Amino acid sequence: MVKSVDTTPAVLRLQQMAQALSSAFAKSQVIEIMLEQTVAALDARGVVARLLSSEGDELLPVGAIGLNDSFYLSGRVDAGDNDLVRQVLAGEVVVVPDVAHEPSYPHREAARRQGLRSVIAVPMQVRARVLGVLCIYRARADEPSEQELLLASALADLGALALEKADLHQSMLHIAAALNSTLELQPMLEQVLQATVTEMQLKAASVRLLDPKQNVLRLVAAYGLGRAYLDKGNVHVGRSPVDQSVLLGEPIVLYDVETEIGFEYPQEAANEGIRSVLVVPLKLKERSLGVMRVYSVRPRHFSPVSIQFLSSVAGLVALAVENAELHAALKEHLADLELDVAEWHRFLALG
């Protein structure tokens, strides 16, 4: 017996949004789809999407529908100075049945002038990490139903997942462009590291290549690190259990380098302001070329997505290192050939 399919409006709305988002690779597309679907699904007067700033201290407007620019762009929304905002950023759905009677609601007067009465503020989150807030405004003062709240949360979470996908897509494009910028190894790696730090919102990054004869990891490129830290010397694989594991193919996360064992230069890292480190291998098939590190100024639990992202970047870097080495070898061989040809011409001239 074939089971009946649930075709309630809420399920159909989620299906429509998922289908629309599946082909969206730009953040602007994702935001537009999310706003349009939310307005239609919840009979909203308007919707505003705000994303956390890279510092995590402010909610920045990234799109709105059904509202004046003067409303949704006006006023700063700090992440920590309002109970309602703090609740949403903690992962809670917050309902304001009537903004006219809620003194703690930001921009209460502006909302009233726009004819907005009730608000549903929904966290946009991926794996418990809040990316921002979806604020849904309605023209009537009321309490939304349980089904409406569930639908609002599902729409916001779908949008957050699509935003993460769009971010990763754009990040890989930027890093691929850096990899293709030059065949000279150090300038290419420096551009890749700069792009990686920017995309992952970190302090710094570095690439060290393995010298198998000396069993050390030599620094070949870095971005965002001070001279004192760069001058600390090579990493000795025998003294670094972290790098021993990474060279065998295992990414390692150090949540706090001051307290975790296995990191060769913990005091130098603390002096540099480094707290967390993610280290991934540079592998070419089964051959370990070295390691790639990224550094955070605050303790950070790198998610599986972040680890996979950096591992993918490291895989591209390993290929680029091999190509750059081949390019350098070909240039050297070409120079030798040119020298041989010049000598041969001189010999013929003498003859």
CA atoms within 13 A on the CB side of 79: 19
User: How confident is the model over 160-206, as pLDDT tens digits?
Assistant: 988 888 888 787 777 777 777 666 788 888 888 998 998 888 999 99
pTM of the model: 0.65
pLDDT attached to residue 287: 86
**5-19, 296-310, 317-331 — which is least confidently predicted?**
317-331
Q: Which of these ranges, 1-10, 99-108, 300-309, has the smallest mean pLDDT?
A: 1-10
pLDDT for 67:
86
Res 27 pLDDT > 70: yes
- How does residue 9 score in pLDDT terms, banded at 50, 70 and 90? confident
Instruction: Give the residue-averaged pLDDT of 313-320.
Output: 87
For the segment 36-60, the average pLDDT, to the nearest whole number, is 88
Q: pLDDT-derived band of residue 210, with 50, 70 and 90 as boundaries?
A: very high
Superfamily of 9-164 according to CATH: GAF domain (3.30.450.40)
Mean pLDDT across 223-239: 91
CA gap 350, 342 in Å, rounded = 13
Mean pLDDT of 218-247: 92
Among 33, 96, 88, 97, residue whose Cα is nearest residue 65: 33
Going by DSSP bridges, is the β-strand pair 46-52/59-65 parallel, antiparallel, or unpaired? antiparallel
CB 217 within 8 A of CB 210: yes
DSSP per-residue string spanning 331-349: HHHHHHHHHHHHHHHHHHH
pLDDT, averaged across the chain: 84
- Rounded-to-integer distance, Cα 272 and Cα 48, Å: 39
pLDDT digits (tens, 9 = 90+) for 52-103: 887 778 889 999 998 887 777 666 788 877 788 889 999 999 999 988 788 7
3-state DSSP assignment of residue 135: strand
Percent of the chain with pLDDT over 90: 39
Per-residue confidence (pLDDT) for residue 148, from 0 to 100: 92
For the chain, what is the total number of helices (H) and then of strands (E)?
A: 11, 11
Whole-number Å distance between alpha carbons of 242 and 250 = 9
pLDDT bucket at 335, cuts 50 / 70 / 90: low
Closest alpha carbon to 135 in 119, 147, 159: 119
Per-residue confidence (pLDDT) for residue 305, from 0 to 100: 82
Residue 246 has pLDDT above 90, yes or no: yes
Domain with CATH 3.30.450.40 in the chain: 9-164, 180-339
DSSP states along 137-155: EESS--PPPHHHHHHHHHH
Give the whole-angstrom CA distance, residue 103 versus residue 106.
Answer: 8
Superfamily of domain 180-339: GAF domain (3.30.450.40)
For residue 205, the Cα-to-chain-centroid distance in whole angstroms is: 14
| Order of all β-strands in the sheet with 129-138 | 59-65, 46-52, 129-138, 118-126, 94-96
Across 280-307, average pLDDT: 90
Q: With contact defined as beta carbons under 8 Å apart, do 58 and 52 qualify?
A: yes
Q: Lowest-pLDDT range, 3-7, 21-25, 164-168?
A: 3-7
Q: Give residue 188's pLDDT.
A: 85
Tokens 């975790």 correspond to: 260
Quote the pLDDT of residue 341.
53
Give the per-residue pLDDT at 176: 78
Tell me the H-state helices in the chain. 9-22, 27-42, 69-72, 83-89, 108-113, 146-179, 185-200, 227-230, 241-247, 266-272, 304-350
320 or 146: which leads in pLDDT: 146
